[in-house]
Amino acid sequence: MGKTAADPAVLTDLRVLVLAGGLSYERDVSLRSGRRVLDALRAVGVEAELRDADVALLPALIADPPDAVVIALHGATGEDGSLRGVLDLCDVPYVGCDARASRRAWDKPSAKTVLREARIPTPDWVALPHDRFSELGAVAVLDRIVDRLSLPLMVKPAQGGSGLGAAVVRDSAALPAAMVGCFAYDSTALVERYLPGTDVAVSVIDLGEGPQALPAVEIVPRNGVYDYAARYTAGRTTWHTPARLTAEMAEAVAELAVAAHTALGLRDLSRVDLIVDADGQPHVLGVNVAPGMTETSLLPLAAQAAGLDFGRMIGTLVSQAAARAA
pLDDT digits (tens, 9 = 90+) for 99-155: 999 999 999 999 999 999 999 999 999 999 988 777 666 788 899 999 999 999 999
Neighbours of 324 (CB within 10 A): 11
Question: What confidence category does residue 183 fall into, taking pLDDT thresholds of 50, 70 and 90?
Answer: very high
What is the topology classification, in CATH, of domain 8-95+310-324? Rossmann fold (3.40.50)
287 touches 260 (CB < 8 A) = yes
Superfamily (CATH) of domain 125-193: ATP-grasp fold, A domain (3.30.1490.20)
Question: What confidence category does residue 2 fall into, taking pLDDT thresholds of 50, 70 and 90?
Answer: very low
User: In whole angstroms, how far apart are CA 69 and each of 19, 22, 25, 41, 61?
Assistant: 7, 15, 22, 12, 10
Residue 119: which of 254, 215, 262 has the closest Cα?
262
pLDDT digits (tens, 9 = 90+) for 187-235: 999 999 999 999 999 999 999 999 999 999 999 988 777 777 777 677 8
pLDDT at res. 164 = 83
pLDDT at res. 226 = 78
- With a pLDDT cut of 70, the percent of the chain lying above it is 94
d(C-alpha 61, C-alpha 42), whole Å: 20
Average pLDDT, the chain: 91
Which CATH architecture group holds 104-121+196-305?
2-Layer Sandwich (3.30)
Q: Could you state, in order of their start, the residue ranges of all structural domains in the chain? A: 8-95+310-324, 104-121+196-305, 125-193
pLDDT at res. 3 = 44
Residue 205: enclosing H or E segment and its boundaries?
A: strand 197-205
